Amino acid sequence: MSTPDRLIEATQELLWERGYVGTSPKAIQQRAGAGQGSMYHHFAGKPGLARAAILRTTAQLRKEAGELLDAPGTARERISAYLLRERDVLRGCPVGRLTMDPEVMAGDELRAPVDETLAWLRGRLAELVQEGVDQGEFAPGIVPEEIAAALVATVQGGYVLARASGSPVAFDAAVAGLLSLLTSRHPAA
């Protein structure tokens, strides 16, 4: 792995674990096995490296979610696959955790990729919900954008509940409850 890749990967992990303020250039260098000169040769300081790490993290989330949401199957099956995919629940979502970091949210440079990725996810889920409505899988009259927002909120909130309790049980319960709502048959409006 190249030095810039090691620096970005180390920054990704540290942002996930410690947040922006807790991620020092020295910690990045130690984790990446790179010297200070090497870090500043490739990146214009911590903000530039953090942006590169956030862009890679958001791209990875889009890729992983996209593989499930674009797979063969019904809309319900693909949404279920996304909700039930294997996650490190107690670590939380690497993108969702960034939203809780005041330094990341303070400026457009770091916040924008996070916001754009969550908007992409809501949009892609809304498209699937609409597909499910069109195919008769979901109740007519539901608002796909609202269901998509509930899907994302359930996943992100599930992470919070699991971290607070120290157990993935709360995350699993949130997902199971949402799937139950999605799979129940509602009378036509």
- Enter the pTM of the model: 0.90
- Asked if pLDDT for residue 185 goes beyond 60, the answer is no
Residue 1 pLDDT grade (very low, low, confident, very high; cuts 50, 70, 90)? confident
Outline where 19-101 has alpha helix (H): 25-32, 36-42, 45-69, 75-84, 94-98
| C-beta separation of 137 from 76 below 8 A | yes
Whole-number Å distance between alpha carbons of 179 and 77 = 10
Name the token pair of 119.
Answer: 């908007």
Residue with tokens 């990725």: 117
Q: What average pLDDT does the structure give for the chain?
A: 93
Q: What are the CA-CA distances from residue 118 to residues 6, 82, 125, 165, 166 (Å)?
A: 26, 14, 11, 25, 25
Does domain 55-183 fall under CATH 3.10.180.10? My reply is no
100-112 pLDDT, tens digit each: 999 999 999 999 9
16-46 pLDDT, tens digit each: 999 999 999 999 999 999 988 888 889 988 9
Average pLDDT over every residue of 65-73: 97
Average pLDDT over every residue of 63-71: 97
Average pLDDT over every residue of 154-165: 96
Cβ atoms within 10 A of the Cβ of 112, count? Answer: 14
| C-beta separation of 58 from 120 below 8 A | no
Residue 189 pLDDT grade (very low, low, confident, very high; cuts 50, 70, 90)? very low
Residue 131: the pLDDT is 97
In the chain, the percentage of residues whose pLDDT exceeds 90 is 85
Secondary structure (DSSP) of 53-70 = HHHHHHHHHHHHHHHHHT
Residue 68: the pLDDT is 97
Residue 38: the pLDDT is 85
